[in-house]
Structure 1
Amino acid sequence: MNFKVVRVFNRSVTIELESDSIFKQDQTFEVYIDGARKLESERNVVTVSGLLPDTEYEIKVVMAGEESSQKFTTKHESVLLDVTKFGAKGDGETSDTAAIQAAICACPKEGTVYLPAGTYYSTALFLKSDMTLWIDEGATLLGDTDRNHYPLLPGMTLSTDEKSEYNLSSWEGNPLTSYASLITAIDAENLDIIGPGTIDGNAGNSDWWVNAKVKRGAWRPNTIYLCRCKNVNVQNLIVQNSPCWTVHPYYSDDLSFLNLLIYNPSDSPNTDGLDPESCSNVLVLGTVISVGDDCMAIKSGKYYMSLMHHKETDGIFIRNCKFERGHGSVTVGSEAAGGVRNVRVSQCIFDGTDRGLRIKTRRGRGERSVLDDILFENIDMSGVHMPFTVNMFYFCDPDGHSDYVQNQAPAPVDEMTPSIGSITGRNMNCKGVSACVLCAVGLPEMPIGKLTFENVDVSFLPESERIPERPVMMDNFDEMSGRSIYAQNVKNLVLKNMTIAGAADKEPELKNVENTSFTEVNYK
């Protein structure tokens, strides 16, 4: 069984099996370090912790009598700073913010700030470059429940020469003042945040989820917020109970999120799991997400940020992950005015989410809002109500129900018109579908470029178990139940080797679809 070493840290390593299996193997395997058995797992991505810095190790994987090994050397560590030596109590009641922040500020280059077992009650912490934050097994960083204890991050500040702007915070795609997040990093590079402990936003015991869409003091924070960071790795942590979007990389590059468990209650508002916004080269590997909104939402801001601080999201790689519960498994948009390209989602399980692949935009996002080159492949979906939805009439924002956004007559194509290019889904198994297989609605003035679905096997729930739902959030659009393919305002629709079992209809419904290519599309 071959594997690759994905990332090496100062005290841990993450590996990925080189296998076509989805998320996990059909049998267990063992992992050894220098001949000592460290763990047994079925999952394709595993992390071994408990290592020492500056040390060469041999890691070996054994499965069904086959074995493979590699050598690696852990990263250098200059010093280990235990936060309890700085006065942190870890009793879950005393505020440990100052003690932990003191350790962070005192940490030299390539040093580690260490949280041993305990519960560290804290407000926002600010990390810096060239350090590791290590939250050990049995350690929990627990968010302070009083919003007045959190500093504010101004959304936008005019520079002294009045020629540029300094952006520190964001709320749903606009540069608006927000509370600082429990873990905040601004302009940091070469930063590692590692477990296997827990980061708990503690939002359920606060008032973050009460009147969630009302600004009180400032907008709600994330749990982990990375602003203009580079080369950041987050590994082997539980991140839960977030006030808002849980992990939010913003205008950041070269990031990895490995073996995370991101969990928020199903009724928690706007608690997306992982939302890279205006980021490039982001790897999400071996991560399990179960939340109250989209599991992942790939974004690039609203129109002002695209116009004045344009940064396209480019290169999002999601592999061997499991997305449970939530409105969408992997979403692109709707705040994507800067554009999103080169998204690759593979070898993932989508289990019980409302939608699988979810693309959403609207008039007003602008001509730079090009959503293109998006590929989903080798995906198993179970109990996903609507596997594929594409919506260019998404009714978000204060003007979302306006005639400008929702009018289905052609509008002039101008600098405010978004576009969708190529979206491909292949090698997928979708069981327990309820509302529809594919619902795609483009703009009449800017049809969706190309939708391709091949090697897709679909089976619907029995009619008695289906609940009618509206697959796309737009005005004047009916609920669906048991529908197969609905496409409106699409330039090219390609369906190849699709089997659809148990649908209420027996052929696709098409409106203003310019070109079609249907090969071996079978209804049962």
Structure 2
Amino acid sequence: MKLCPRVRNSSYVIGVISIVLILGSLNVNVVECNKLDSIEYPAINCRKHNALLTDFGGVGDGKTSNTKAFESAISKLSQYASDGGAQLIVPPGKWLTGPFNLTSHFTLFLHKEAVLLASQIESEWPQLPVLPSYGRGRDAPGGRFSSLIFGANLTDVVITGQNGTIDGQGSYWWDKFHKQQLNLTRPYMIEIMYSDQIQISNLTLVNSPSWFVHPIYSSNIIIQGLTILAPVDSPNTDGIDPDSCTNTRIEDCYIVSGDDCVAVKSGWDQYGIKFRKPTEHLIIRRLTCISPDSAMIALGSEMSGGIQDVRVEDIVAINTESAIRIKTAIGRGGYVKNIFAKGMTLNTMKYVFWMTGSYGSHPDPGFDPKALPQITGINYKDVVAKNVTYSARLDGISNDPFTGICISNVTIQVSEQQKKPQWNCTDIVGVTSNVIPNPCPLLPQKEKINCPFPNDKLPIDNVQLKTCSLENVF
């Protein structure tokens, strides 16, 4: 195994050139990691040490299990956490593996021709207890399987590459789900818990057994440049699920999914209320979504710890059931408030605006029927939609209306299969301005209203990525 420090500055480069010229004239072999060809990539932090998966016995033939190679590599590289951190590089090949856990001050880097293949042998997947803010597994009441790539109580972790691929080979799990043969909740592809300073970027993720990317109880997260692909009829293959997280930035992602492309969550009924950890200070921008049976962005349905200060801009949905959908119900408690969205381009939608106050699916009978959610301060503006069946379906809760709704500067072109009435509204309070077709009476049109969008920057937006390099390690 070679642990090669990265090239750091121009004087170092000049020194290396001189040494290479001198040693070359003497016919002396030069250590390969001193070559100057490099791959550059952005990251929250660069690493001092590099190692290849093959240094730990990895075999990229698509058949040999690499679970122990990943475990051994990460265990060894964790020793460098206090010495500039370390990076595990997955070279070209097909790397079959079961789940493995990450470590702090660490980067997992996938070459553009690297493919991680998730094992379909169920016994290779460790079991985990249920999440405390959920109280049970989502697929079954018991525990859950570990995610393919998992980490807890970490600091400074990067999962990135040159659009290398992680294939969850989810068909095995989808089949068991449809046949109701699951005793535990299906694995997610990537899950990071109780952690800080997380980056997941520049990867192609395909066919997750269930949710793809699930940061939970974590903070200071950047998710960018992901291509996420699953069949549009695959069950619960949410793209990105920020869950009870603070300061998260999701940008420049393309998602084709069998469920919500982005699902914002914070715990389920009485368990989320007790855990009391909201999702807040969330940025979503330049997202493209295809999901014929679900939402581009869902807020809920598990929102019992609260969701607030979500900023969405410049997003595109194509052949998607709805744009931004709020999903809640009696018994959820919690809140969804101070939601801001601008710049939505939509084509072929069932609904443009959708809010649901009767989304059931409780974890167990122990929920509090008096726990009413608070939905307020919902702001949408600058929307262009074509080929739409319904403009809106906005259903609040009797004696608990959704308030503070503002919708401005919206043009909706309905399809030939348009339904009447176009706006279906109950138990909501708000205003609209410059909206076509005319909204429902509960959202009266007012002149010259421009729904708000915050001008201040969130702390996560001030995080600048560094330019890191790999020194010809492939």
Q: TM-score, normalised by structure 2?
A: 0.80
**Structure 1 residue aligned with 2:260:** 294
Q: Which residue of 2 aligns with 1:422?
A: 377
| Residue 342 (structure 2) aligns with | 377
2:424 — aligned with what?
Answer: 486
Distance in structure 1 (CA, Å) of the matches to 2:199 and 2:448: 44
Q: Which one has the bigger helix percentage?
A: 2
1:467-524 CA distances to partner (integer Å, 9 max, x unpaired)? xxxxxxxxxxxxxx2532222111x321101123xxxxxx5444xx4x7444489xxx
Structure 1 position 214, deviation (Å): 3.7
User: Is the contact between residue 139 and residue 184 of structure 2 (CA under 8 Å) also seen in structure 1?
Assistant: no
Q: How many residues end up aligned between the 2 structures? A: 408
Give per-residue Cα distances to partners, 1:329-373, cap 9 Å, x unaligned.
00100100001001111011111110111001000012xx11001
Structure 2: stretches of 5+ with no match in the other structure: 1-5, 8-36, 450-474
| Structure 1 residue corresponding to 2:395, chosen from 437, 441, 449 | 441
Match for 1:155: what amino acid? V
Deviation readout 1:401-440 (Å, 9 max, x if unpaired): xxx99xxxxxxx9851111011111011011101x11111
Percent identity of paired positions between Structure 1 and Structure 2? 27
Gaps of 5+ in 1: 1-9, 12-48, 54-71, 157-165, 406-412, 467-480, 501-506
Deviation at 1:176, TM superposition (A): 5.2
1:90 pairs with 50, 60, 69, which one?
60
Q: How does 1:186-265 map to 2 (within 5 A)?
A: 186-196=152-162, 197-204=164-171, 206-212=172-178, 214=180, 216-265=182-231
3-state DSSP class of the match of 1:105? helix
Aligned counterpart for 2:96 among listed residues 115, 121, 124: 121
| Structure-1-length-normalised TM-score | 0.73
Equivalent pair of 1:167/1:175 in contact (CA under 8 Å): no
Separation in structure 2 between the aligned mates of residue 170 and residue 93 of structure 1, nearest angstrom: 34
Q: CA deviation at 1:384?
A: 1.6
Structure (1 or 2) with the greater strand fraction: 1
Q: Secondary structure at the match of 1:385?
A: strand
| Separation in 2, partners of 1:363, 1:329 | 24
2 CA distance for matches of 1:230 and 1:212?
36
- The Cα offsets for residues 113-165 of structure 1, whole Å up to 9 and x where unpaired, read as 11000011011010011100001110011100111210101226xxxxxxxxx
> CA distance change for structure 1 residues 442 and 203 in 2, over 3 Å: closer, same or farther?
same
Compute the displacement of 1:240 (Å). Answer: 1.1
8 A Cα contact 2:299 2:326, kept in partner: yes
Q: Is contact 1:169–1:177 with CA below 8 Å preserved after alignment?
A: no
Would you say 1:81 and 2:51 are equivalent positions?
yes
Which amino acid counterpart does residue 86 of structure 2 have in structure 1? G
Query: Which residue pairs with 1:303 in the alignment?
Result: 269
**1-structure distance, mates of 2:49, 2:190:** 24
Contact 2:136/2:363 (<8 A) preserved: no
CA deviation string 1:63-97 (max 9, x = no partner):
xxxxxxxxx99944221110111101011000010
- Give the aligned CA root-mean-square deviation in angstroms: 2.8
Residues 446, 168 of structure 1: alpha-carbon distance in 2 compared, 3 angstrom cutoff: closer
1:82-481 matches, cutoff 5 A: 82-107=52-77, 108-109=80-81, 110-155=85-130, 171-172=137-138, 177-196=143-162, 197-204=164-171, 206-212=172-178, 214=180, 216-326=182-292, 327-366=294-333, 369-397=334-362, 415-434=370-389, 436-463=390-417, 481=419
The superposition leaves residues 152-195 of structure 1 with CA deviations (integer Å, 9 ceiling, x where unpaired) of 01226xxxxxxxxx889973499951101111011111000011
